[in-house]
Amino acid sequence: MSAPLPKNQEFLLPASNLFIAMSLLAALLLNWLPWQGVWLALRPDFVALVALYWCIHKPYRVGIGLAWLVGILADVDNASLFGQHALAYSVLAFGGIVLHRRVQMFDLRQQTLQVFPVLLLAYAVYAAVHWQLHGYVAWEYFFGSAVSALLWAPLSVLLQAMRRPRAEAEL
């Protein structure tokens, strides 16, 4: 990123509700892929990433309520208890909303460092609930938060690109 994107001048289409919903659904589908073994430990939480992206870029549209709802959907699938993902994602969304001005000041590489603690906190909340209920925690689980943070930059570029208007005028 030698030449940072002129983010503030960039013209983005307003994100429609449909686009937000579809991106979250796509993230849920990615989480449902049959991950196994080492990949399961390294699996990034796509839903957390997409929810965090929207909380940081559209803090008045996507908030803790939506994150909580998506968390409930994730709980249904994952054979975890109702509310486990929801709690983690609520904390995540809160972090994103509180930090949204600050994160947007940085370029993508620095954003990764800003986003990592928030993700780690959400992972820790999930693990803490599990520990409280079952009395043990698999430490490999936390690798996922680092992998998720590394995926922040590519995911932001992708979602940003999808929100840009089509370049018909340039032709």
Partner 1 sequence: MEHTQSFRFFNRGPSPAVRLVFFSLLSLLLLFVDARYQYLESARSTLSVLFQPLQRLVSAPGSLWHGADAFLTLQSNLVRENEELRQRHGTDAVKLQQLQSLQAENQNLRQLLAVQQRADYSMQLAEIAYIERDIFKRKLFLDKGAQANVQAGQVVMDDSGVVGQVTRVYPWLSEVTLITDKDHAVPVQVLRTGLRSIVFGSGDTSELALRYMPVSADIQPGDTLVTSGIDGTYPPGLPVAQVSRIERDPAYPFARVQCTPVAGVSKQRQLLILSGLPKLPERPEAAPETVAEKPKKIRQKKP
Distance CA 143, CA 106 (A): 24
The region of 2-10, 92-100, 113-121, 150-158 touching partner 1 under the rule CB under 8 A is 92-100
Residue 135: what residue type? Answer: G
82-86's contacts with Cβ under 8 Å and 24+ in sequence apart are 84/126, 84/129, 84/130, 85/47, 85/126
Is 130 within 8 Å of 141 (Cβ atoms)?
Answer: no
Contact string 99-128 vs partner 1 (x = CB under 8 A): ------------------------------
DSSP E strands: which ranges in 22-171?
A: none
- Answer yes or no whether residue 129 interacts with partner 1 by CB under 8 A: yes
Residue 95 vs 108, nearer CB to partner 1? 95
Q: How far is the CB of 41 from partner 1 (least distance, A)?
A: 6
SS3 content of the chain, % helix, strand, coil (to 5): 70, 0, 30
Residue 18 vs 138, nearer CB to partner 1? 138
Binding site for partner 1 (CB under 8 A): 29, 31-36, 40-41, 60, 63-65, 68, 71-73, 76-84, 86-87, 90-91, 93-94, 97-98, 129-130, 133-134, 136-138, 140-141
